[in-house]
Amino acid sequence: MNAHAAVTTLNQPVVQVSNLTRSFGRGPNILDGLDLNIQAGEFVALLGRSGSGKSTLLRTLAGLDEAPVGTLTVPAERAVVFQEPRLIPWKRVWANVVLGLRMANARERAVAALTEVGLGHRLEAWPLTLSGGEAQRAALARALVREPKLLLLDEPFAALDALTRLKTQSLVASLWRTHRPAVLLVTHDVDEALLLADRVMVLDQGRIGFDLHVNLERPRRHSHPAFSSLRSRLLRELGVEDEAIDAPLDELAVGWNASARTKAPAGSGPKPDDTAWAVPANALARS
């Protein structure tokens, strides 16, 4: 049974997850009674150790995996950007952006989206001629053109070089401010999470073990003393010691929750293979 449902009440969070459990085969639970709410326009970052179930949660929210146990409410208008751009090499860049869309003005929509990410001059290019940063910007345009209420980002900057990564992070922040979708960013990078997100959560033992509301003005700077303190706290939650001196946490963030620590650790079961061409949810099925 598919537990996905469309959001019908404007006052509800865009994403509501209650008691979600996921496992593969006879392995232990990867997600174990997980609860999560994401408000409209909220930028949430999800941290966790490798194998903790971050991508499993994202794929479930995207509709790429079923949610057989628990309840899951997500908007129909959602899009996914993965670590790899996953552009189809035999289609022009503009055609990749509108893959799966059925509308008369598809090219115009592609032009607008690509222009917004700085690729208006690469409409007719083949994907293999793009740089890594350009390809990932094309993937962002592919998500943007669908005007999603929920944007799911699965480590979209991980394969980029340091400079391109910073520029692409800034682009994502700009696009979010303009379009205001709810965002769930899966990342291993604590600094990245603090630079971009309103809330930073740590997935631990199949549940949200730590939920931090970041109270820092934007744009954020690594040099801010509060940034260093929050970074240290998150690193400790991930099992990494840091020498930075903490400021009082209640001055920097509110609403954190560390109550989900009582269950025995869930093991890391096998993960399903990624889809060959992962695009915004269900696009290939419609094409």
The domain segmentation of the chain, as residue ranges, is 15-286
pLDDT tops 90 at residue 170: yes
Written as six digits, the tokens of 22 are 């996921």
Q: CA dist 218 to 19, 173, 195, 282, Å?
A: 34, 10, 8, 34
Question: Residue 70 — very low, low, confident or very high, per pLDDT cuts 50/70/90?
Answer: low
Q: How far is the C-alpha of 189 from the C-alpha of 194, rounded, in Å?
A: 9
Q: What is the pTM of this model?
A: 0.81
Written as six digits, the tokens of 200 are 């930073």
**CB 216, CB 231: distance < 8 Å:** no
Closest to 53 in 3D by CA, of 38, 34, 72, 40: 34
Handedness of CA 9, 140, 46, 177 (dihedral sign): negative
CATH topology for 15-286 is Rossmann fold (3.40.50)
In one-letter notation, the amino acid at residue 140 is L
Written as six digits, the tokens of 73 are 């409410």
Q: How many helices (H) and strands (E) does the chain have?
A: 8, 10
Candidate from 22-26, 58-62, 161-165, 247-251 with smallest mean pLDDT: 247-251
**Residue 10's pLDDT is what?**
47
- Encode pLDDT of 50-61 as tens digits: 889 999 999 999
The region that residue 125 occupies, defined by phi over 0 for left and psi between -120 and 50 for alpha, beta otherwise, is: beta
pLDDT tops 90 at residue 287: no
Written as six digits, the tokens of 12 are 């509800």
248 vs 13, residue with greater confidence: 13
**Residue 127's pLDDT is what?**
97
Report CA dihedral (125, 82, 25, 264) to the nearest 10 degrees. 170
In one-letter notation, the amino acid at residue 173 is A
On the question of a cis peptide bond just before residue 219, with omega within 30 degrees of 0, the verdict is yes
